[in-house]
Structures are given as C-alpha cells and as structure tokens.
Chain A
Amino acid sequence: GAGVSQSPSNKVTEKGKDVELRCDPISGHTALYWYRQSLGQGLEFLIYFQGNSAPDKSGLPSDRFSAERTGGSVSTLTIQRTQQEDSAVYLCASSLEGRPIDGYTFGSGTRLTVV
C-alpha cells in the first residue's frame, strides 16, 4: 500500500481481556517498529523487527506484551490481560534498511482504551 496501515483505529476493551493490534507496513520496508504514546508522554519504543534477524524486544514493558511479524510483512502486537495503564496510542512504523537519516513512516495508530 501507499502508507503504513494500522487496525483497528480505536479499541475499547475491558480490563483483563486480551487485544491484538495489526500493522501493515509499506511494501518493501524491511524494518518495522512498534511505539506507544501515553497521555502527555513521548513516543515509547516497544519492539523492532529487522529482516530475518531476531526482534529487539528491549522496550516491551512486561511479559504481557508480545509481537510477531509474519512473512516479513504484517505484524501483530498482542497485549494479554490488559490493564488500565496499557491505555495509549499504539503506533507502528516501517523503514528501509541502510538509510538511518531518513527516519521512518508511521501509521495513524490504534487508540487503546482499557476500562
């Protein structure tokens, strides 16, 4: 597609439920990133996929968070047993390799509200 696509755009869930957030990166982009933005905060890095390498999971806040990337394209971020502090906008981004000065392209995000 022309840009990074995320779904759903909004998700309201009850505390304790599991949620899945989806990201479709730009075709041909080998790097894929997940960030989240909590109210009044900056963008917090969660996880990063680069080609066939093992993902960098150093930003995941707890073991309730996991992500996978199938076939080097679509990625799913899963949050198990959601808590109210998980409420945030979850942003996915993708980029080409070898051009660190170009930054990356973000999707519009999924706004997650845990009630």
Chain B
Amino acid sequence: DQQVKQNSPSLSVQEGRISILNCDYTNSMFDYFLWYKKYPAEGPTFLISISSIKDKNEDGRFTVFLNKSAKHLSLHIVPSQPGDSAVYFCAARNSGNTPLVFGKGTRLSVIA
C-alpha cells in the first residue's frame, strides 16, 4: 500500500510558466515532507522541505504548500526554466531519523 502517491507520472510546462507538482499521503503520522529532484544517472538531490506545523515554505522559485486536512502537498516552481526538467520525488517521514517514504516521481519537462 503506497503511503506517498504522485498520481501524475509526467508534466509538460512552457518556459516561464508555473509548474505545479502534486503529492498525496495516507499516513497521518508523517511530520516532515520533502521534495527531491533527480537528473538521469545522478542521485536525487534535496530541493525543499516543510514540517507539519507549517502550511507554506518558500525558497526562491520553489514553494511547497501543505494541506494537512487533505493530506496533500504541492510543489510550485515559478518561473519554470528548461534546467528544471527532471524527475521530482515527494517524500515523507515521521519524527526522528526514520527512513523517508518516497512517491514514484513525476517527470517534469520544461519546454523552451
């Protein structure tokens, strides 16, 4: 049973527009939510995170929104750039150093 779900396997966006990547989770014990970005033949790299006590965290062009009641989070990238083309993974964990639980990823293509 998937605890973290990314229902869109792919997304295509024009350069300069907003990219919105969605993620749903089922485990109400998750306290921390993270987004990772992965280029081919490389390991995932940490992008941005949010704790369950917040509903928004912003870092430059990247903003993560958390809706705890809906068990939903989203990553907004604005403006999107061709270099943002990658696979984005949503991940979640309980408190402490418990292992991250990952979704299956969404492949973002930003078209120039």
A residues whose Cβ falls under 8 Å from a Cβ of B: 4, 31, 33, 35, 40-45, 48, 50, 56, 59, 91, 93, 95, 97-98, 100-109
Contact = CB atoms under 8 A, between A and B. Distances in A.
5 contacts: A91-B44, A97-B97, A103-B46, A108-B43, A109-B43
Interface in B5-28: 6
A50 B31 CA distance: 19
Given A42-B89, A42-B105, A103 B43 contact: no
A104 B45 contact: no
A58 to B, nearest CB: 9
Contacts of B111: none
A95 B103 CA distance: 20
A101 B89 contact: no
B96 A100 contact: yes
B32 A101 contact: yes
Interface of B: 4, 6, 31-32, 34, 36, 41-46, 49-51, 89, 91, 93, 95-105
Given A42-B6, A48-B99, 20 more contacts: A33-B100, A40-B104, A41-B104, A42-B4, A42-B102, A42-B103, A43-B44, A45-B101, A48-B97, A59-B99, A100-B31, A100-B93, A100-B95, A101-B32, A103-B49, A103-B91, A103-B100, A106-B36, A108-B41, A108-B43
B99 A33 contact: yes
A43 B89 contact: yes
Nearest to B33: A101
B33 to A, nearest CB: 9
A31 B100 CA distance: 12
A91 B41 CA distance: 11
Given A100-B31, A101-B49, A101-B51, A107 B43 contact: yes
Contacts of B6: 42
A103 B36 contact: yes
Contact of A106 (B31, B45, B101, B104): B45
B49 A91 contact: no
Most chain A beta carbons < 10 A, residue from B4, B45, B97: B97
B102 A43 contact: yes
